[in-house]
Amino acid sequence: SYDLIQPLSVSVALGQTARITCGGYNIGSKNVNWYQQKPGQAPVLVIHRNLNRPSGIPERFAGSNSGNTATLTVSRAQGGDEADYYCQVWDSSTGAFGGGVFGGGTKLTVL
């Protein structure tokens, strides 16, 4: 199976830049998606296919992916950005069909 490794927590000062990493073997060859989940709510897609923002997601959210690490960057962090963030890929190496894989999630705290 394919493993995605995320830090358990990341802290950032209000207005500063947070970077959340997602590690996986040769993850740069895959499309990485990022989801934001606030307490008691369903996940929300914030980045798809490595760097694309869905409609309605602020430009402060950016994604990159290279080598063995994908990164979600949250610029000018706001209190409303406090949430759990999950990376996700499609692992085509799992059987003939493959399967979805989520990282363990990172709690972003804005200080």
Partner 1 sequence: EVQLVQSGAEVKKPGESLMISCQGSGYTFTSYWIAWVRQMPGKGLEWMGIIFPGDSDIRYSPSFQGQVTFSADKSINSAYLQWSSLKTSDTAMYYCARPRSGSFADAFDIWGQGTMVTVST
Any contact of residue 3 with partner 1 (CB under 8 A)? no
Least CB distance to partner 1 at residue 65 (A):
13
Any contact of residue 9 with partner 1 (CB under 8 A)? no
User: Is the distance from CB of 85 to CB of 34 less than 8 angstroms?
Assistant: yes
Q: How many CB atoms lie within 10 A of CB 59?
A: 8
Least CB distance to partner 1 at residue 108 (A):
14
Any contact of residue 1 with partner 1 (CB under 8 A)? yes
> Residues 17-56: x/- map of binding to partner 1 (CB under 8 A)?
--------------x-x-x-x----xxxx--xx----x--
Give the separation between CA 1 and CA 78, rounded to whole angstroms: 36
Any contact of residue 63 with partner 1 (CB under 8 A)? no
Q: How many CB atoms lie within 10 A of CB 80?
A: 9
Residue linked to tokens 């989801």: 35
